[in-house]
Structure 1
Amino acid sequence: MYAIFKSGGRQYEARPGAVVKLEKLPGEVGENLTLDQVLLFSDGEQVQVGQPLVQDVAIRARIVEQGRHRKIIVFKSKRRKDYQKKQGHRQYYTAVRIDGIEKQA
């Protein structure tokens, strides 16, 4: 059983028990979430594809961690113009554990 869902402008795959790092979501560690923007749902036998969303399917998740990714370096330069700019960036994320995928029927 798995589902494809949308969060923060990106698409993620959800399987029960998996930990997924999403774009920053409000909430404290230990809180429960319901992710209801499901694009595709498969129960092992049938596959439902939404147009654009699958109705009556929701993903239950629990916040495991609020953190930041590794630093990336953004370096810009223009040759022969004596221009260089170096900048670092760390993106915030929310790690969630997928507790289950529910079909309301």
Structure 2
Amino acid sequence: MYAVIKTGGKQYRVAAGEKIKVEQIPADVGTEITLDQILMVGEGDSVKIGAPLVAGASVKATILAQGRHKKVEIFKMRRRKHYQKHQGHRQNYTEIRIDAISA
């Protein structure tokens, strides 16, 4: 069984037992959360598509870690103009494990 969830403005295809990194969720490590914005649930040939959400569907997940991604380096330069700009960014993430999908 799999589901397409929406969290942090992005969509993820998940199945039970998977570990994924999503946008930061403000909760402690080890807590169990319920994701209720389910766009699609599928099992074999049967697929339920929401309009926009599947009614009554939910995904239970456990928070494994809070962290930060690798740094993204931004470098801007105009040649012969003596202009250089360096910038970096590290995005926060939450690593979760999908425990159960209920439709």
Superposition TM-score, scaled by structure 1 size: 0.94
Give the gaps of 5 or more residues in structure 1: none
The residue that corresponds to 1:18 in the other structure is 18
* Amino acid corresponding to residue 61 of structure 1 in structure 2: A
What corresponds to 2:71 in structure 1?
A: 71
- Which residue does 1:59 correspond to in 2? 59
RMSD: 0.9
Identical amino acids, percent of aligned pairs: 50
- What CA distance in whole angstroms lies between the structure 2 residues aligned with 1:100 and 1:45? 19
State the match for 2:31 in structure 1: 31
Unaligned runs of 5+ in 2: none
List per-residue Cα deviations over 1:2-49 (Å, max 9, x = no partner). Answer: 000100110011100000100000011100110010111002231011
In the alignment of these two chains, the number of paired residues is 103
Structure 1 runs of 4+ aligned residues shifted over 4 Å read: none
